[in-house]
Structure 1
Amino acid sequence: MSMRGEARPLFDNAVDISKLKTCWFWCAIREKKVGVQWHKILWFPLHIPKHAIISWMTILDRLPTKDRLLRMGLVIDTRCVLCGDGIDSRNHIFFDCVFSRLLWEGILRFCNIHRAYSCWEKGLLWVIQHLKGKSLIVYILKIS
């Protein structure tokens, strides 16, 4: 609120500067963007912050996978540490790796969902279309 003087030109002269609220200033200066489709599958009531942040980083392809570290100039072995086959990337970790493929098959079978695993983009699109911010358990009950 120490910046009330600088904020004054952003508002009508009719606004009493002593009643100026921080949220008005924030709304006036922030850049407004269109929301993303995946917002509700990450940020919902009672979400686990650590899981949501890791998922957010994954969706934005910001995980420090070996392929990203190599692009940043680090000289490293890019092979997947789980299977030793393929380049460690977001798509490999979640879909191409033998271990992740077996894990997805087991999870989907357990949830009685009959769908083949695919690439990251198609998997995210499926989750957005089918879960819409609901838990997998709600989805399972709905299709049962």
Structure 2
Amino acid sequence: MIHGLLGDSFSSLRMIWDELTVHREKVSWDRLVWHLGHVPKFSVIAWMAVLDRLPTKARLLSFGLHIDGMCEFCSNELESRDHLFFTCCFTKAVRAGVLRLCNLSRGALDWSEEFFWAYRQLKGRSLSSTLLRLV
């Protein structure tokens, strides 16, 4: 029965796939997220972070949810992507520790600058680039 629906050729499956998938332009930074050795769950979270689509309290509040928007880690600011990754005192300490383990010492910039740094620095297939992409 399925044979009759799909026909004999691979092109029939290809046509179905092409109809079901949304084709968009490939972004230049996809290898930062989707790379050899990536953990799919972490890559999805990283992709959402890049697109600023993480379910932070700031986003949930923007959808009309009635919640406390303060950061769970520090209770000092509204919980947003930028706050969680760069200005929260707790996550700053965690980030500094991870960078120390990677023999890097650098302060955090803002999201755009950090992303541009990673894009420039983590190209290629060297062991250090691969390990830093996993971090």
Change (3 A) 1:132 1:140: closer
Cα deviation code 1:51-105 (max 9, x no counterpart) = 1111111111111100000000011111111001011000001111001111222
Give structure 1 stretches of 5+ with no counterpart.
5-17
Equivalent residue in structure 2 for 1:114, among 97, 100, 105: 105
Give the alignment's Cα RMSD to 1 decimal: 2.8
Q: Does the 8 A contact of 2:122 with 2:129 survive in 1?
A: yes
Change (3 A) 1:22 1:99: same
Distance 1:97 1:134 in 2: 32
Equivalent residue in structure 2 for 1:2, among 2, 5, 9: 5
| Counterparts of residues 1-144 of structure 1 (less than 5 Å) | 2=5, 19=9, 20-24=11-15, 26-27=17-18, 32-132=23-123, 134=125, 137-139=127-129
Cα deviation code 1:14-38 (max 9, x no counterpart) = xxxx544322554488664321122
Distance 1:47 1:82 in 2: 27
Which AA in structure 2 matches 1:61? D
Q: Once the two structures are aligned, what percentage of the paired residues are identical? A: 36
Change (3 A) 1:25 1:91: same
**Larger CA deviation: 96-105 vs 66-75:** 96-105
The number of equivalent residue pairs is 127
Shift of 1:121: 1.8
State the SS of the aligned residue for 1:2: helix
TM-score, scaled to structure 1: 0.73
Change (3 A) 1:133 1:78: farther
Change (3 A) 1:61 1:85: same
Q: Bigger radius of gyration, 1 or 2?
A: 1
TM-score, scaled to structure 2: 0.77
